[in-house]
Structure 1
Amino acid sequence: MNKTQHYVQGKWTSATGEGKPSFDSVTGEFIAETSVEGLDIPAILHYGRTKGGEQLRKMTFQERGNRIKSLALYLTKRKEQFYEISYRTGATRVDSWIDIEGGFGNLFANASLRKLFPNQPYHVEGDPIDLSKGGRFMAHHILVPKKGVAIHINAFNFPIWGMLEKCAVNWMAGMPAVVLPAPVTAYLTEAVVREIIASNILPEGALQLICGTAKNIFDTVESQDVITFTGSAATGRLLKSHPRIIQESVPFTMEADSLNASILGEDAVPGTPEFDLFINQARSEITVKAGQKCTAIRRMIVPENLMDDVQMALGKSLDKVSIGDPRLKEVRMGALVSKDQVNVLKGRVQELSKSAKIVYGDLEKITLIGADDKGAFVSPILLREDNPFANLAVHETEAFGPVSTIMPYKNLDEAIELAQMGKGSLVSSIVTNSDGIAKDYVINAASHHGRILVLNRENAKQSTGHGSPLPLLVHGGP
């Protein structure tokens, strides 16, 4: 049986034992299985700290940055092979562009940071601090690499970008990485890592790949290691409480469920460019990657007198979205990553629909182009929650797919309060042509969101949109 392979301790290897199968999300065809049985996890981490870490730490910022840039150029030349594999995850060409070339873009962006640093393995940060009156006793802050390994536990939705956005940062900082992609799409991550290793651009040991869930990965972490996790909040909290992490005080960064909100300004009535921008952005965030983005809009907060207008306009816009085989040019939305994820999504929508009403789409009916029910397809779903202050499910339950909910507000203070009821998100946006409305929202909502996009007729053509993380900015929640 075909198995995804691991790249550890300088070689490609297959684990023993029965693994977790992955399937083509469009055709249902078996692709491979992932297993970590038999891997020597402590030895893998030690290899990274020593073989990879020792070489990276000796390199200057300029050398690291130039290597990363060379890698970005190398991978970009080979991008088409990754698009072909990415179709099997259910992603369209546009969806895959975010993952593939967005991932390579992260390498370019982080490589460019070398211009801010000296041609040294360390960095003297800021101006000297005078600790005496005569300038004879002074202090400096310096930055040096940690002598550990960066462990990245990634989500299924961005198997390339999710890896490279993290690795680019730690390579630039002089730290090696051990990457654990989600098993269901690990075959795509493996394909990219094969090219990275074949390039010989990075020092040996700078990157190791474990395709699967290594439950003992934290048992031997050390105080100089760092951990990043992308996935569900429940899983993240469980991992973060691992006794070894607590004992060694290992930094743990978590990017988890995020009920991102987009607000339609009171001035953005039908007929204005802002109303149209709001509808177009909402459709895009629902359908791109079939809604499987951590930054997707889950809550649309609109003036109560515009609820019907938004519902009707968005429904008409979603009617134009063709669903099916993502390889076909006429298809605008592909599949979810797996049948299992479809079942999870349906369960979450059913939870939401106990109080909210489904006003667009059907969980059981869908028209497909070039595909059938063997694939993990679902219809876009739009819900309407008319009492969002009393019914809290919409602020607490995320349906990770092409699902969003509209809800009303009476004034901007209510809109801000509703946005904050999500208890913190990666991103929020407000669509308005009023500088006053935009300013009031940003200042009062900023505490609860990692990033706020202000969208209007002036910046729309240049804007990257609500859901696009930008490598030059800090990406995370509040």
Structure 2
Amino acid sequence: MKQTIDEMPLRQEITDVLHQLGIKEVNPAYSTGLEWGGTEGRTTRDILSPADGSLIASVNMATAEDYETIVSTAQEAFKVWRMMPSPKRGEIVRQIGEKLREHKEALGKLVSYEMGKILQEGLGEVQEMIDICDFAVGLSRQLHGYTMHSERPQHRMYEQYHPLGIVGVISAFNFPVAVWSWNAMLAGVCGDVIIWKPSEKTPLTAVACQHIIRDVLADNDLPEGIFNVIIGDAEIGSLMANDTRIPLISATGSTRMGKKVGEAVGARLGKSLLELGGNNAIILTENADLEMAMNAIVFGAVGTCGQRCTSTRRLIIHENVYEQVKERLLKVYPKLPIGHPLDSTTLVGPLIDKDAVKAFQGALKHVQKEGGNLLIGGDILEGVGYETGTYVTPAIVEAENHFEMVQEETFAPILYLIKYSGDVENAIELQNGVKQGLSSSIFSTNLLETEAFLSHWGSDCGIANVNIGTSGAEIGGAFGGEKDTGGGRESGSDAWRIYMRRQTNTINYSRELPLAQGIKFDIMD
């Protein structure tokens, strides 16, 4: 279903948003929180909207010298920031959350226009930032360790957590601000300083966030270097991954990228937090409530035009309801409103760029050669409103789980229908039969089926949902996955621990020096 939008009011709306968020025609290459730098003699990159192909603004690309400036500034800021009590750091994060509330509408629109996700998702992403700020404020008073009983008399043991130092965050285009905030707000209350390298495809939202944060830092007389951003290409990411001055790198992106980062960080014995690819499945048993499942399936498959790491890629359907589910989907898909992401009636926006379109087409050709049956979709839309060549019709393909293309993650709206027979164990085996292990879901009203799915021999993913889809995680729980997804955990629960160094302490308050394990070691006079 075609969607159009009136261009003239839209142009003015975008102009107003850019002005409110401090976006210039050409934006500096880096920010130390208070000051901007990297404005002259640098390569520039034009940022075009995938929605209409318009130039939004340009950015200067950082140099190796800019990177050194950022790191040295962050090192000095850490000496000040770590000395603030954690609840005081939480107060700064609270104020950042309030500023985000003030700018939610504008920032949400910029997220949508720069990345291509629909406005509801753009606003939801900013709300996620606000929510993690609230979470981090509470966390700032709960950075607890444990106490243990010592085997030695008049000894006390406990453990505590200290700030790590600089945390490097490498974020992806599909969630240009939310994933950064998961890391930055938690690391911030933990006493760390942050260097953020946003995706070069969506850097303007990062520039906007720095402008928002600047006011809070200035109002509280804080030094520059606590929240930093550097705009650059893969070279900057490589510098971060290999830099021993950055004890933790949190990287979000493809498995291929994550392996390179993990190898570099591991070679220097640093810490890495990797959030990588997903190949997520929904299981529909014969006991599923199909009415409830349908919205979850469609949002999971076409939300963000299939460009979420938690997007639903595979639909594993019991043979007794397979034809019914297929028929329902084939009725829904032609009615999906595809169009400009800022049109309130749009449900499917564009892919990020033409490279993503090529990957989409290539995957469909490949899977059909393997024997897949393309049921609907796969077209590139043309004509008024679709001049960018980035709008596609979401595809549904009948396939088998072992197909090479089904085993891979394609960052596009392709949903593979896979039939299973017999017990739920067969469906779980199919779901687990891929390299990735991020998000998973089962729809069933049968307690035995859902509990099997959640058991230790059930879903092997970091996220396992019952009667909700694979996409749309809340910030309260730890987010991340297993296997080729990287094993990282961000956001809620006790994910904060990775941003700190753990220390065990033993205090002797006696006048003797007994050794552990009963060891005798007496020095002769």
Structure 1 residue 126 and structure 2 residue 138: aligned?
no
SS at match of 1:466: coil
Bigger mean CA deviation after superposition, 88-97 or 151-160: 88-97
The match for 2:98 among 51, 73, 84 is 73
Contact 2:444 2:450 (8 Å CA) reproduced = yes
Deviation of the 1:444 alpha carbon: 4.5
Deviation of the 1:233 alpha carbon: 0.7
Contact 1:186 1:212 (8 Å CA) reproduced = no
Change (3 A) 1:258 1:34: farther
Deviation of the 1:409 alpha carbon: 1.2
Distance in structure 2 (CA, Å) of the matches to 1:150 and 1:219: 11
Say which structure, 1 or 2, has more relative contact order (CA 8 Å, 6+ apart).
Answer: 2
Structure 1 residue 432 and structure 2 residue 450: aligned?
no
Aligned to 1:377: 391
Change (3 A) 1:351 1:20: farther
Amino acid at match of 1:470: E
Structure 1 residue 138 and structure 2 residue 151: aligned?
no
Contact 1:223 1:250 (8 Å CA) reproduced = no
> Equivalent residues in 2 for 1:407-422 (5 A)?
407-410=418-421, 411-422=423-434
Aligned to 1:321: 336
The match for 2:172 among 121, 134, 155 is 155
Aligned to 1:99: 125
Aligned to 2:111: 86
Deviation of the 1:224 alpha carbon: 5.8
SS at match of 1:350: helix
Aligned to 1:227: 249
Instruction: State the structure with more CA Rg.
Output: 2
Aligned to 1:472: 476
Structure 1 residue 357 and structure 2 residue 373: aligned?
yes
Unmatched runs of 5 consecutive residues or more in structure 1: 118-122, 269-273, 456-462
Aligned to 2:262: 240
Deviation of the 1:216 alpha carbon: 4.5
The match for 1:12 among 36, 41, 48 is 36
Distance in structure 2 (CA, Å) of the matches to 1:409 and 1:440: 16
Distance in structure 1 (CA, Å) of the matches to 2:36 and 2:69: 15
Contact 1:323 1:367 (8 Å CA) reproduced = no
Amino acid at match of 2:122: S
The match for 2:89 among 46, 60, 64 is 64
Aligned to 1:263: 283
Distance in structure 2 (CA, Å) of the matches to 1:434 and 1:192: 46
Distance in structure 1 (CA, Å) of the matches to 2:44 and 2:364: 30
Change (3 A) 1:421 1:203: farther
Contact 1:267 1:433 (8 Å CA) reproduced = yes
Distance in structure 1 (CA, Å) of the matches to 2:301 and 2:376: 12
Distance in structure 2 (CA, Å) of the matches to 1:173 and 1:431: 38
- Deviation >4 Å, runs of 4+: 444-447
Aligned to 2:138: 112
Amino acid at match of 2:438: L
Deviation of the 1:362 alpha carbon: 2.8
Change (3 A) 1:306 1:6: same
TM-score, L = length of structure 2: 0.80
Number of equivalences? 448
Deviation of the 1:2 alpha carbon: 4.3
Distance in structure 2 (CA, Å) of the matches to 1:218 and 1:74: 29
Contact 1:428 1:449 (8 Å CA) reproduced = yes
Contact 2:428 2:459 (8 Å CA) reproduced = no
Aligned to 1:120: none
Distance in structure 2 (CA, Å) of the matches to 1:96 and 1:473: 21
Distance in structure 2 (CA, Å) of the matches to 1:50 and 1:352: 53
Contact 2:140 2:190 (8 Å CA) reproduced = no
Distance in structure 2 (CA, Å) of the matches to 1:313 and 1:267: 17
Amino acid at match of 2:28: Q
SS at match of 1:394: coil
Deviation of the 1:59 alpha carbon: 1.6
Contact 1:349 1:399 (8 Å CA) reproduced = no
Distance in structure 2 (CA, Å) of the matches to 1:222 and 1:102: 31
Contact 2:281 2:470 (8 Å CA) reproduced = no
Deviation of the 1:215 alpha carbon: 4.8
Distance in structure 2 (CA, Å) of the matches to 1:409 and 1:323: 32
Distance in structure 1 (CA, Å) of the matches to 2:428 and 2:410: 22
SS at match of 2:163: coil
Deviation of the 1:327 alpha carbon: 1.9
Distance in structure 2 (CA, Å) of the matches to 1:240 and 1:68: 29
Contact 2:42 2:60 (8 Å CA) reproduced = no
SS at match of 1:293: coil
The two structures, once aligned, show a CA RMSD in angstroms of: 2.2
Amino acid at match of 2:240: F
Contact 2:376 2:396 (8 Å CA) reproduced = yes
Show CA shifts across 1:63-111 (max 9, x none): 1222211210111111122133223222222120222111221111222
Unmatched runs of 5 consecutive residues or more in structure 2: 1-23, 483-525
Amino acid at match of 1:199: V
Contact 1:446 1:452 (8 Å CA) reproduced = no
Show CA shifts across 1:131-180 (max 9, x none): 22x4x12311111111x210111100111102111111211211000000
SS at match of 2:455: helix
Amino acid at match of 2:199: A
SS at match of 2:225: coil
